[in-house]
Amino acid sequence: MQFNEKLTSLRKSMGLSQEELGAELKVSRQTISKWESAQSYPDFQRLVLLSDYFGLTLDELVRDVDVADVRAKNLSSEKLDSIYSDVGIAKKFIKWYLIIAGTGAVVVLLVLLSFALRAVFVW
């Protein structure tokens, strides 16, 4: 039995919903769903919490897990996290660029207005 099948079976045998199990582990229902559909795997800390919660050893909980699959999915997750981080940095850069450019434009307009007003009143 694969990890995702084992987790689903354990959760259902205890009569828990994904949301209830998520609350116990302090993760979202969507995270539990991803674990159960083999879209991702829990980190080590969550595996320990799961094994304690279900009264199993880590070996019993993760036996038959394809390590290469876990590595591949974790790398995908890390890449997504990296992309989100890069997007966040780009947003901050653009925000500050717009603030600085906008401030510069306002200063230029004020200087031009000042020259225009002086030219009108000097004539």
CA atoms of 50 and 42, how far apart (whole Å): 9
The pLDDT value recorded for residue 59 is 84
Query: CATH for 3-65, among 3.40.50.2300, 2.40.50.140, 1.10.260.40, 1.10.580.10?
Result: 1.10.260.40
pLDDT at residue 1 in the model: 78
The whole-number pLDDT of residue 75 equals 66
Q: Where are the domains of the chain?
A: 3-65
- Per-residue pLDDT 10s for the chain (123 aa) are 788 999 999 999 999 999 999 999 999 999 999 999 988 889 989 999 999 999 988 888 888 766 677 667 666 666 667 777 777 888 888 999 899 999 999 999 999 999 888 888 876
Q: What is the pLDDT of residue 105?
A: 94
Q: pTM of the prediction?
A: 0.53
Q: What is the pLDDT of residue 52?
A: 93
| pLDDT score of 74 | 66
How far apart CA 78 and CA 73 sit, in angstroms, is: 9
46-55's contacts with Cβ under 8 Å and 24+ in sequence apart are 49/24, 49/25, 50/7, 50/25, 53/24, 53/25, 54/10, 54/14
Judge whether 58 and 47 are in contact, CB under 8 Å. Answer: yes
Q: Are 42 and 36 in contact (CB under 8 A)?
A: no
